[in-house]
Amino acid sequence: MTAEVRGRTVLVAGGAGFIGSRTAAALLDRGARVVIVDNLTTGARRNVDPRATFYDLNIADPEIEAVMARERPDLLYHFAAYVLVPKSVENPLLDMDILVGSVRLLRAAKDVGIRKVIFASSGFLYGNTPQLPAREDDPVDPVSPYVVVKQAVESYLRFFRTVYGLPYAVLRYAAIYGPGQVTGAMADYIRTLAAGRQAEMWGDGTKTRDYVFIDDAVDANLRALDVPNDHPMPVFNIGTGVETTLNALYAKIASLVGAEPRPIYHPDRPGEQHRYCLDSARARRELGWAPTYSLDDGLRRTVEAALAGRS
């Protein structure tokens, strides 16, 4: 059971991105009025649902506070991020707009009386911990500026709730994937193998990831609305608890497109997470959330959609 959103105004920051756009559509389907804010740096205009009100705007722009005051949303979903993690390692200033913009959003959310903020964080916060699957109360050890900013926004959320009573919930995602995704290693592998070429891979392919299908992630986003406002630690891992190596993922994709798996290996890059797997027992217990798609099923749907888009 998820909270009723019919008739509510929901602002979705980053609503032209992969996860944000799917969540916006789900909210619209449930009768919400949706306002999307996105500067289209990594999102795409074609992802914006025509039923939504759209602002082409960087959340770091002071105008975001005027938009919040004008639209007066009841709920805020914050997906805005530069999702190109290797780029953040190369340029640690890249994510500063996200940090500044997040604070602007939270200040405006406090001013307009937002009922709850849902923030899309990352399981990368746990860094290269030997303790897997990682749990919410495990130490955080960010290995990239992208994740440093995620951690900082989580801290600002705690501050705004403690000082101003602004309710929130944080979802620390594993690797979300599915049809329509254009960034990330999986999307690159599918695109390149389907074109009859071999994709590049940094490292020897033994790095692991925990893959969650997009429909399961959207389900978690909606269930997060039910988190009690006085929850002592409203932070939830969204993962399957299953590790898959990049080599194994690549071989699965190659099989689905009828290609030989011969990735082009390069030396590993700095700021990489080597193993990655999340314990989602808290989300199962408190949100009633559980992944419903296996990697094989979700990957088949994703590859089929990509191949259909090429025809």
Which are the catalytic amino acids?
Answer: 146
| DSSP string computed for 155-169 | HHHHHHHHHH---EE
Q: How many CB atoms lie within 10 A of CB 123?
A: 27
- In sequence order, the 6+-apart residues with CB closer than 8 A to the CB of 249 are 185, 186, 189, 209, 211, 295, 299
Q: Please tell me the distance from the alpha carbon of residue 175 to that of residue 97, in angstroms, as a whole number.
A: 23
- 152: nearest Cα among 181, 119, 191, 117: 119
Measured between alpha carbons, how far apart are the two ends of the chain, in Å?
A: 39
Tokens of 96: 């500063």
Q: Please tell me the distance from the alpha carbon of residue 115 to that of residue 117, in angstroms, as a whole number.
A: 7
- In sequence order, the 6+-apart residues with CB closer than 8 A to the CB of 135 are 237, 279, 281, 282
Q: How far is CA 77 from CA 2, 93, 131, 154, 298, in A?
A: 15, 24, 30, 14, 25
